[in-house]
Amino acid sequence: MSYARRAFVVAWKDLLVERRSKETLNALLFFALLLLFVFQFALGPDRERLAGVLPGVLWLGFILSGLLALGRTFLVEREHDCWEGLLLAPGDKSAIYVGKLAGNLALMAVVETLVLGLFVIFFDIDLARAFPGLPVVVALGTIGLAAVGTLFAAMTAHIRAREVLFPVLLLPVQVPVLLGTVKATEALLLGESLASVAHWIKLLAAADVVYIVVGLLLFDVILEG
Partner 1 sequence: MTAAPLIRTSGVRKFFGAQAVLDGVSLDVRPGEAVALLGGNGAGKTTLLKIVATVMRPTSGTVSVAGHDGAREAEAVRRVLGFAGHGAWVYDDLTARENLKFWTTLHDRRASEDELAAALAALDLERAGAARVRTFSAGMKRRLSLARLTLFRPLALLLDEPFAGLDQRAKKWLEGYLEAFKARGGALLMVTHSFGRELGVADRIAILAGGHIVLDTPRAGLDPDDLQRLYAAHAEDVA
Positions in the binding site for partner 1 (CB under 8 A): 2, 5-6, 9-10, 12-13, 16-17, 20-21, 76, 79-82, 84-91, 96
CA distance 196 to 184: 9
CA distance 108 to 139: 10
DSSP, collapsed to helix, strand or coil, labels residue 190 as coil
CA distance 185 to 58: 9
Tell the smallest beta-carbon distance from residue 164 to partner 1 (Å): 24
Query: Residue 10's closest CA among 86, 80, 64, 70?
Result: 86
Tell the smallest beta-carbon distance from residue 166 to partner 1 (Å): 22
Quick one: DSSP state of residue 130? G
Tell the smallest beta-carbon distance from residue 151 to partner 1 (Å): 19
Residue whose CB is less far from partner 1, 88 or 195: 88
Omega of the bond leading into 132 within 30 degrees of 0 (cis) = yes
Residue whose CB is less far from partner 1, 48 or 79: 79
CA distance 38 to 70: 23
Residue whose CB is less far from partner 1, 23 or 124: 23
Tell the smallest beta-carbon distance from residue 113 to partner 1 (Å): 23
Tell the smallest beta-carbon distance from residue 86 to partner 1 (Å): 7
Residue whose CB is less far from partner 1, 52 or 91: 91
Residue whose CB is less far from partner 1, 81 or 124: 81
